[in-house]
Amino acid sequence: MSKVLKLIVSLAIPLIVGFVGSIFTSTSVNTWYKEINRPSFTPPNWLFAPAWTLLFILMGLAFYFAWLKGFGGNPSLCIGIFAVQLLLNLLWSILFFGLKAPLYAFVEIVFLWVAILINVIVFFRVSRVSGYLLLPYTLWVSFASALNLGVVLLNKF
């Protein structure tokens, strides 16, 4: 497979997952989410779409650079952990926005954070660039975890 095709596939996978997640988000962000109490450090709503788009692009690039290195000879592990964290990412959107269940979403985001950390470690061992590209995602999900917990506490979910 050519490098260009690998890049396209690598970027498409997380962007498609992000798009699917945005379907659940968009149904609640201007209704239910607007009505609940949110922490004072909650960013404006317009920031989330570009931030997540950038993070999904960085995830795709991390996958691409790991792919170029043959996934360090362990494609099952690399692809598996990447897929797990992407699915957990999608599940968080479903739980928080789709089902309007912030407490369950908070429990789930802890698992997501751990999966991302494992993904960073695994990818870093294959390609330092891949590992570094996932660090903003790790930081953002850490911040999102704090926001999620704040919503739980402020609304007694």
Q: What share of the chain is helix, strand, coil (3-state, %, to 5)?
A: 85, 0, 15
CATH of 3-155, one of 3.30.300.180, 1.20.1260.100, 3.90.1150.10, 3.30.230.80: 1.20.1260.100
And the tokens for 78?
A: 């690399």
CA 153 and chain centroid, separation: 23
Residue 69: predicted pLDDT: 98
Per the document, the length of the chain is 157
What's the CA dihedral at 114, 47, 83, 81 to 10 degrees?
-30
Token representation of residue 50: 């570009």
Q: Where are the domains of the chain?
A: 3-155
CA-CA-CA-CA torsion sign (141, 95, 102, 41): positive
The closest of 154, 155, 87, 96 to 115, measured between CA atoms, is 87
Q: What is the pLDDT along the chain (157 residues), one digit of tens a residue?
A: 899 999 999 999 999 999 999 999 998 988 999 999 999 999 999 999 999 999 999 999 999 999 999 999 999 999 999 999 999 999 999 999 999 999 999 999 999 999 999 999 999 999 999 999 999 999 999 999 999 999 999 998 7
**Predicted pLDDT of residue 151:** 98
pLDDT for 1: 81
